[in-house]
Amino acid sequence: MTAKANLTLTSERRSWPSSVKLRLREHPQPLAVAHIAKTFWSRFVGLLGRRRLPEGEGLLFVPGGSIHTLAMRFPIDVVFIDANLTVLRISRDVSPWRFVLAPRRTRFVLELNGGALRDIPIRARYRLAFECEHRS
């Protein structure tokens, strides 16, 4: 049996689940199921070595900041998010071997396959909601 709970941003990072569901508060359409990169090693490796992410999945960096696509094999869409879960900036179709500076107040960074946001009505100042599933 699963029960949905909102992700508590003040909780210790180590106690966070391994993945969360993200959606726009302004729109019921799900954004992605994001695996959480919360350890030094998982943030360091990121998406390196992968050919693509599975459809509908992403990687959420906690804490997040500026990103690079050095040695990556595919373009990505990047969403920079503040502590209030407000979208600060979106960088679409970032090619391999690029750097993208994070805006001030970035707390989380969501990386998705390039083009994943094409049909999703998302833009700066939209609010996100995180949901995690706890097994009981």
Output the pLDDT for position 77.
95
Residues 127, 23: Cα–Cα separation, whole Å: 9
Sign of the C-alpha dihedral, residues 133, 125, 106, 114?
positive
What domain count does the chain have?
A: 1
**Does 13 fall in a domain?**
no
Q: Indicate which CATH number applies to the domain containing 112.
A: 2.60.120.1140
Q: In order along the chain (136 residues), what is the average pLDDT of each group of 10 residues?
A: 41 66 83 84 70 86 91 93 95 95 96 91 90 58
**Does 115 fall in a domain?**
yes
Angle at 7 between CA 21 and CA 114, to 5 degrees: 35
Closest CA to 39 of 22, 10, 15, 9: 15
Is the bond into 63 cis (omega within 30 degrees of 0)?
yes
**Does 89 fall in a domain?**
yes
Give the pTM.
0.83
